[in-house]
Amino acid sequence: MSQPAGQYRMSWHMPKSRRLAPLYCQQSTEGDILPRVSQQKRLFSNLDRSMKHETGSVAGSIVLIAGTTVGAGILAVPFTTQDSGFIPSTASLIGTYVFSVVTGLLLAEANINLMCELGKGGVSITSISRTTLGTAGEKATTLIYLALHYALLVAYTAKSGELLQQLLGQDVPPPVYSLGFCGLLAAMCFGLRPAQLDQANTGLLAAVILSFAGLLWAVAGQVHPENLFQANWVAVPQTLPVLSLAFVYQNVVPVICSRLEGDLGKVRTSILGGLSVPLLMFIVWNGAILGSIDSAPGIGQKVDPLAQLTQLPGPTSVLIQVFSLFAIATSYIGFVLGLSDFLADLLKLPAGQQQKTPYILTVVPPFILAALFPQIFFKALDFAGTYGVLSLFGLIPAASVWSQRYGSNTRMAAFRAVPGGRVPLLAVGFIAGGIILNQFIGSIAGLSAH
């Protein structure tokens, strides 16, 4: 059938390179007798011709999660678990791993469902709380998120300057080293494309694993197998906040969901794969250290495993510093990406575009605090692990998913990342709330004793 002359038809042109091409309107002047003549005119578009769509990869997401998890927290694990012993602490590590996988999947479920509901390419945990928990939940989430992330970035910034001063010399103040170290990493986060940053993060994670292997080789001769069978199960609860901090990665879940374009299967694979490497590293590291120290669990005064390692002959001291720096670097990148995305959402900036303001607000305040309080590292970690991680990445994701699944607006529950209905949600809330309450009571009792 012939078309009337002058009828407009839309045609889309998408080259194989996936670059965004101009949109053309094709006008057909074909009549019953006249031959077909086509004329193309470019319609207006404000998109840059050079703009290229790049999706994230599962491998890159696994590396980002693993790198974020294997941070300075691994150095505090043996110090925390030495009272309980190797076997109880291994059970605690496995349990914390399962808890972290579930809470990460819950956060991913809430994130992807809200992305679909709003039609946005990325949302933050604050957007989730605002939609599912109301204004009060949003404000509480914002305060906890900012406090947790700034506390950890301050800790990492301060520790990097201290380690570099020990490694390179005492003449330069730690803040100068921190400025160079963290400034370089922040510039990478801002300036590199996702694929390039994935490659850089992969290299850093490889350096972490290599230096970790070197440390294990250095302390292997000091391990006494009989020490690994000492156990004190009563001391397990006090280890859980620090172990939860050691496994923290949930801050990059919104980044992963956005990069993988809401593909729940890919997100699930990334979380399971990304946490498996840290779990193995934590267990091996914990066994090597607990097997090499002399104090029995629950008996005597705690010793600092790193202080003991630095006294060993050979390159152990340098390996500790190098391993710590690479571990801090991988965590720092993850937290900068997570917090900058959070701030971009909080400031209502367009998703998917690099903005300077969120990165400046992410990097500068922690540097100032670290320069003013260079010994803040352990205090910041203690605060973050006790209250920040378990509330922000435990209670809030469970409550948000509960609201999506069983609240008034159940249309947001299109995807389910965690099966089992209400049971896992109640379990996460009970575990996280119980640990927070136990630590709070312990803190009050400690203050009363003084």
Span 19-51, pLDDT tens digits: 444 433 344 444 444 455 554 444 444 444 444
- The mean pLDDT value of the chain amounts to 80
Query: What's the pLDDT band for 9 if we cut at 50, 70, 90?
Result: very low
Give the residue with greater pLDDT, 386 vs 235. 235
* Least confident residue range of 183-192, 269-278, 294-303: 294-303
91: left (phi over 0), alpha (psi -120 to 50) or beta: alpha
Q: What pLDDT, on a 0 to 100 scale, did the predictor assign at position 294?
A: 67
Q: What is the pTM of this model?
A: 0.76
Task: Tell me the C-alpha distance between 377 and 382, whole Å.
Answer: 9
Query: What's the pLDDT band for 174 if we cut at 50, 70, 90?
Result: confident
Written as one string, the DSSP assignment of 273-296 is HHHHHHHHHHHHHHHHHHTT--PP
State pLDDT tens for residues 246-276.
Answer: 998 998 898 899 888 888 899 999 999 999 9
Whether the per-residue pLDDT at 78 is higher than 90: the answer is no
Q: What pLDDT, on a 0 to 100 scale, did the predictor assign at position 394?
A: 92
Q: What pLDDT, on a 0 to 100 scale, did the predictor assign at position 19?
A: 42
Q: Which of 340, 342, 388, 378 is nearest to 156 (CA)?
A: 378
Mean of pLDDT values over 62-85: 84
Mean of pLDDT values over 293-300: 57
CA distances from 189 to 182, 316, 364 (A): 11, 31, 14
Q: What pLDDT, on a 0 to 100 scale, did the predictor assign at position 429?
A: 93
Whether the per-residue pLDDT at 208 is higher than 80: the answer is yes
pLDDT over 70, % of the chain = 78
Task: Tell me the C-alpha distance between 125 and 136, whole Å.
Answer: 14
Mean of pLDDT values over 357-374: 87
Whether the per-residue pLDDT at 192 is higher than 80: the answer is yes
Give the residue with greater pLDDT, 326 vs 320. 326
Task: Tell me the C-alpha distance between 228 and 289, whole Å.
Answer: 10
Mean of pLDDT values over 10-16: 43
Query: What's the pLDDT band for 321 if we cut at 50, 70, 90?
Result: confident
Domains, the chain, with CATH or none: 1-53 (no CATH), 58-443 (1.20.1740.10)
Cβ neighbours of residue 146 closer than 8 Å, sequence gap 6 or more: none
Whether the per-residue pLDDT at 173 is higher than 80: the answer is yes
Whether the per-residue pLDDT at 175 is higher than 50: the answer is yes
Query: What's the pLDDT band for 167 if we cut at 50, 70, 90?
Result: confident
Query: Angle 245-250-253 (CA atoms, 0-180°, nearest 5)?
Result: 165
Give the residue with greater pLDDT, 89 vs 410. 89
